[in-house]
Structure 1
Amino acid sequence: MSQAKKKEKKIKCVVWDLDHTLWNGVLLEDRNVQLREGLLEIIKELDNRGILQSIASKNEHNTTMAKLEEFGIAEYFLYPHINWNSKSSSIKNIVTSLNIGMDTIAFVDDQPFEREEVSFELPDVFCWDAADVHAMLDLPEMTPTFITEDSKKRRHMYMSDIERQKVEEEFTGPQEEFLASLEMVLKISKVGSDDLQRAEELTVRTNQLNTTGYTYSYEELDALRQSDQHKLMIVELQDKYGEYGKIGLVLIECGEQDWKIKLLLMSCRVMSRGVGSILMNHILQLAHQHNVRLLAEFVKTDRNRMMYVSYKFAGFKEVEENGDHVLFEADLSRVQPFPDYVKVHVLD
């Protein structure tokens, strides 16, 4: 089985210019601009595929938002930046707000100067000429292997996140009190046949909170979930604001004496919810119950240091190091009960 496959870069967010790109004409010169033919269908199809969308436009904010509302498409764009700043600075802010990688952004603009400015400042961004926008849906970067239920709901889940963030910013008590106020329910279960598409999607899409970066195909995951030598678990989270969806995946290779965590990943949207610690503690509990030594593989990248810190914080110690590859061993005396601020359901 090829576990260390190179990730195929997929676009997670399309950032649109507006004048002569999303619509014909210049809004400040003509308030009666019209959407370009076929653009509404492209916007809706990107949304259906789970590809987020935003705006980087040099325009007057209120007038522009009113026009987007008039077209009935304002809700499709998360964290729109409509101002007179450079397009690259707007894209930086969008990436920070969405907490995704710069190399997962596509920028669509009709002006060569704007695309060149972005390419120079942000070389990882995929720039696309608005004249060729109708071919965009056929690009492999825009074509997920599967369109899952989580994909279809991705924008709505991010919109719930925006609501949570507003509440969190206004909350003045301790962090644990805020987390308790969310009424979170975490479910950890074996991967079933209905989970396989989302499980594959998670291995491909998740970069930051990913311990190894290994990707697995649908077929490989199906074999692993049925293997007596492996445990394959998926994690779901919800709270009073709605669903986060299936946001975590764990693969453990189970020997008689030793268990080894081959993959542990989580969506960046749950970074501040304590899910990583809960999940690691569940694995520690399982290993303790089975009286086995617990090891964990880790492959260093330029983006997953948070997971390295998470292992260290959970009491894992480095026992081997070979370049970017690290082997950790857990201290099973560090097993803790689950925190009170979340209800955890473990389903066998």
Structure 2
Amino acid sequence: MTTSEAEAVTPVKCLVWDLDDTLWGGTVLEGDDPRPLDEAVSTLHALDERGVLHAVASRGDEATALAHLDKLGLAELFTVLEVGWGAKSESVRRISETLGIGIDTLAFVDNDPVERAEVAAAHARVRCYAAEELAELPEREEFRSRHVTQEARGRRRLYQAEASRNQAQEAYEGTPAEFLASLDLELTLRAAAPDDLARAHELTVRTHQLNTTGRGYSMAELREMCDSPRYQVLVAGLTDRFGSYGIIGLAVVEHVGERGVLRLLLLSCRVMSRGIGPALIGHVVRETLAEGRRPEAEFVPTEVNRVMLVNLRFAGFEVLERGEDRLLLGFPPDREPPSPPSHVRIVGSTSTATGSGI
């Protein structure tokens, strides 16, 4: 395994599999009819139940590999298939882009040490494992989750629905804006309830790119904030004509005198292309102004979250203070609040969602 101690605690969101002599014993293209290895099947199902996605980066013919996966009843467990003759590091990169998740949240398993070395050399943050380690992967810290949410159990189906959306978008003949409008997006905002705490905590742990501060909160911290009139803890859900995206966002607003300070805003990477960031930020601004408070927002830069600063600035926030490791932004008092985007219907009022008593 090629990993550093620091990376070992970063949760794995997707395990990328080699097929021949890793998932099954033998080579399909050489005429073998291999059965899946027991430890591989066990690991597939254990991680799928926790919300870890599975993908394939393997040598061979894609149609043949898919046919064999179908025959074994395993095809539905994989979200992305990259089967061919190119470098596996390129397959891993494309899987990261297709799923919209950071390369550092992928892991790779292969029986061939040369293939593992090639991937590790190209992507230092991708954790690589030998096929012999498969049985123990579910016990490793990077694959474990203290709280397995309903959202996690259905994560594979959410990503598969997203694949259907992407296929529909590729076939759509209109503009990107027209396609977004055709989705019938509905963003639901509400105060966090007891059943939301595990998912809210999971979002703070798993979400890096679309996170304004990179800050994580434990369930105890979230519960304490939900119980306090000083804080507003909001969860965001999203649906469209293809179905539900699940709970995809979290916002924490602190009431400090006449100010409403957005201490955390994060969104699942799955909705990056849906324009949900500006929709959620705009809604928080309008609700804060309606309560008679000045909207402000804290931003802490990380290696990957600059897009969230762009979203805040696009929504109208301006820099008030610059510290060594943080920015404080404010919404100008003479500026009109941003209008809701035309392609998203926003449901639910959050103006009374303080001190929800959970």
TM over 0.5: yes
Structure 1 position 311, deviation (Å): 0.7
Structure 1 position 86, deviation (Å): 1.2
Match runs of 1:221-232 below 5 Å: 221-232=222-233
Aligned partner of 1:59 in structure 2 is: 60
Distance 1:15 1:288 in 2: 46
Match runs of 1:272-287 below 5 Å: 272-287=273-288
Aligned partner of 1:336 in structure 2 is: 338
Match runs of 1:68-87 below 5 Å: 68-87=69-88
Match runs of 1:100-111 below 5 Å: 100-111=101-112
Question: Contact 2:279–2:344 (CA<8 Å) still a contact in 1?
Answer: no
Structure 1 position 72, deviation (Å): 0.7
Q: Percent same amino acid among aligned pairs?
A: 37
What is the aligned residue count? 343
Distance 1:158 1:271 in 2: 13
Instruction: Please identify, of 159-168 and 244-253, the stretch whose mean Cα deviation from structure 2 is larger.
Output: 159-168
Length-normalised TM-score, structure 1: 0.95
Distance 1:283 1:143 in 2: 34
Amino acid at match of 1:343: R
| Correspondence 1:147 to 2:145 | no
Aligned partner of 2:209 in structure 1 is: 208
Aligned partner of 2:252 in structure 1 is: 251
Distance 2:34 2:227 in 1: 56
Q: Deviations over 1:85-104 (max 9, x none)?
A: 11111101111111111111
Distance 2:155 2:23 in 1: 22
Task: Note the residue ranges of structure 1 that are not aligned, 5 or more in a row.
Answer: 1-5
Length-normalised TM-score, structure 2: 0.92
Question: Contact 2:39–2:134 (CA<8 Å) still a contact in 1?
Answer: no
Question: Contact 2:26–2:32 (CA<8 Å) still a contact in 1?
Answer: no
Distance 1:171 1:331 in 2: 39
Structure 1 position 302, deviation (Å): 1.6
Amino acid at match of 1:177: E
Q: Deviations over 1:249-281 (max 9, x none)?
A: 000110221121110000111112121111111
Question: Contact 1:13–1:106 (CA<8 Å) still a contact in 2?
Answer: yes
Distance 1:225 1:70 in 2: 49
| Correspondence 1:345 to 2:347 | yes
Q: Deviations over 1:133-161 (max 9, x none)?
A: 10111001000121111101111111111
| Correspondence 1:181 to 2:187 | no
Match runs of 1:1-348 below 5 Å: 8-332=9-333, 333-348=335-350
Distance 2:282 2:332 in 1: 11
Structure 1 position 287, deviation (Å): 1.7
Question: Contact 2:320–2:330 (CA<8 Å) still a contact in 1?
Answer: yes
Question: Contact 1:53–1:77 (CA<8 Å) still a contact in 2?
Answer: yes
Amino acid at match of 2:337: V
Distance 2:105 2:152 in 1: 15
Distance 2:62 2:170 in 1: 24
Q: Deviations over 1:309-341 (max 9, x none)?
A: 001111111111122311111125231332333
4+ residue runs over 4 A deviation? none
Task: Note the residue ranges of structure 2 that are not aligned, 5 or more in a row.
Answer: 1-6, 351-358
Question: Contact 1:317–1:329 (CA<8 Å) still a contact in 2?
Answer: yes
Aligned partner of 1:3 in structure 2 is: none
Q: Deviations over 1:117-136 (max 9, x none)?
A: 11111111100110121011
Q: Helix, strand or coil for the counterpart of 1:28?
A: helix
